[in-house]
Structure formats: C-alpha cells, structure tokens
C-alpha cells in the first residue's frame, strides 16, 4: 500500500457537492455520514476535508456562508459523536484514528476537552448513574430498532456459543447507541447504516434499514443515506465483486434497499 499521504483523494469537490446537496438528506447529517463512511473504509485522512468544508461554507445544499460559532460547534460535536457511535460496529481502532484526524483539523474552541464538559453526558452516566438505568434505556432502543423480532435477535446473541456476545450488545446499546444527547435516534441510525454498508454485512444491514424507520427516519432519508455512502465507497474504488474474484476491495452481495 502506498504511504497514506500518497493515496488518491476520495472527497473531491464534485463528490462533496453531490453529497452535501442531496435533496433527501437533513442538512445536518451529510458530514457525519461521510465522516463515518471514511472511517470505516480506513481513510481518516479524508475526514478533515469534510469537516473544514462544513465549518467554512455551511451545511445547506446551496449555502456558502461561514456558520457562526454555535453552529460550528454543533457540526464538530455531531461529527465526533458519529465517530464515537460507529465504534459499536466499526471497531475502536478506526474510531480512534478518525477522531484524532478530526481533532487535528479542529480549532481549539470547538473541542470538548480536556476533562471538560461532555455534551453527551456519558462520563456522568458511567460514574454517577445506576448501570441498570442505562441498560434499560439501551434495551428500549434495541427493541425499537428490531421491533417484534428484538427478543429473537438478542436471544440469538445470547446463544451464540457464549453469553458474552449478548452482554457486549447490551453494553453497546446502553452506554453508546441509546445516548441521544447529541444525535437523535434517526441520526444514530444513519451512523449505523454508514458503518454497515461498506463492510458487506447484509444480515445486520437489513435489520438496521428497517430500524432507521422505527427510529423516526423517512424511507426517502434512509435511501439517501444508502446512496451517499455508496457514492463515497465507489469513489474509494469499491466495486461489486464477481463470484470468481478471490480478493478485492468491494461487496460480494448486492446492497439491500428499502
């Protein structure tokens, strides 16, 4: 693999314009969807491009006005929270790399550190709240995502050969995904879709496509998230792989849709 600073660009001006201007995406979603997608495909070096454009030109499809500080802070926090939540499905190493790439491009006044106020309130939840309260919230979030099959899905994880898988899922949904202080339930589902689509994990993706609707997203918004993520993946070189291709960068199955 060539050195990171010699990799071909993914976020080009035309691609950035197309995802920012997608008519079905809420205007404060495209940048964290793009950031999570770039983290999943292991291109954290491209995340600063998305962030800098958003805080310098605005998030609306036709805007070209630098947002005021409160909106810049909102953008920074939503992008950070998207990367944090993606750890549940992407893995902590990529989340770490994505967050530090973002931090390197973030003005100090848009950071929530060190040991300062966390708008997510997760430190309070971890240290000062009963775990049963957080786990119950996580279960409610899980039940809303999976609907009438939620007990079966969690039961399958409990019977995966080790109950530890179910414990991990409950922790992730409790302390990570069900916290909606920064991203709404629908936006949290957008993060999950952006994290799942590049990984070619259709069994999990199918459930979360429907779960996004249960979390308040519209069908059009879910399809728009899918479209934007695929555009970024294809710009990185991902393709639909033929059955006789043993190793390549892409998907082995068609990406589900609603």
Average pLDDT over residues 40-68: 94
Tell me what pLDDT residue 1 has.
43
Q: How confident is the model at residue 246 (pLDDT cuts 50, 70, 90)?
A: low
CB 39 within 8 A of CB 239: no
Tell me what pLDDT residue 232 has.
97
Average pLDDT over residues 139-162: 96
Tell me what pLDDT residue 241 has.
84
pTM: 0.93
> Mean pLDDT of all residues in the chain?
93
CB within 8 Å of 198: residues ≥ 6 apart: 37, 40, 41, 229, 233, 238
Tell me what pLDDT residue 4 has.
54
Average pLDDT over residues 15-34: 95
CB within 8 Å of 206: residues ≥ 6 apart: 256
């Amino acid at each position: 693999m060539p050195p990171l600073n010699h990799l071909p660009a993914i976020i080009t001006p035309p691609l950035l314009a197309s995802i920012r201007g997608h008519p079905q995406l809420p205007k404060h979603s495209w940048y964290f969807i793009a950031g999570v997608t770039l983290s999943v495909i292991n291109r954290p070096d491209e995340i600063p491009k998305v962030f800098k454009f958003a805080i310098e030109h605005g998030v609306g499809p036709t805007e070209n006005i630098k947002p005021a500080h409160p909106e810049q802070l909102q953008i920074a926090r939503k992008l950070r929270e998207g990367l944090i939540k993606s750890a549940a499905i992407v893995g902590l190493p990529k989340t770490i790399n994505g967050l530090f790439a973002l931090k390197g491009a973030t003005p100090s006044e848009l950071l929530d550190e060190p040991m300062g106020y966390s708008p997510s309130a997760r430190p309070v939840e971890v240290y000062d709240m009963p775990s049963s309260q957080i786990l119950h919230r996580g279960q409610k979030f899980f039940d809303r995502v999976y609907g009438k099959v939620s007990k079966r899905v969690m039961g399958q994880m409990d019977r995966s050969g080790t109950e530890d898988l179910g414990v991990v899922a409950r922790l992730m949904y409790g302390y990570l995904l069900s916290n909606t202080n920064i991203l709404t339930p629908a936006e949290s589902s957008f993060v999950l879709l952006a994290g799942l689509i590049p990984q070619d994990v259709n069994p999990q993706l199918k459930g979360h496509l429907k779960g996004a609707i249960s979390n308040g997203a519209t069908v059009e918004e879910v399809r728009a998230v899918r479209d934007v993520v695929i555009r970024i993946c294809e710009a990185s070189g991902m393709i639909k792989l033929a059955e006789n291709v043993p190793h390549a960068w892409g998907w082995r199955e068609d990406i589900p849709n609603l």
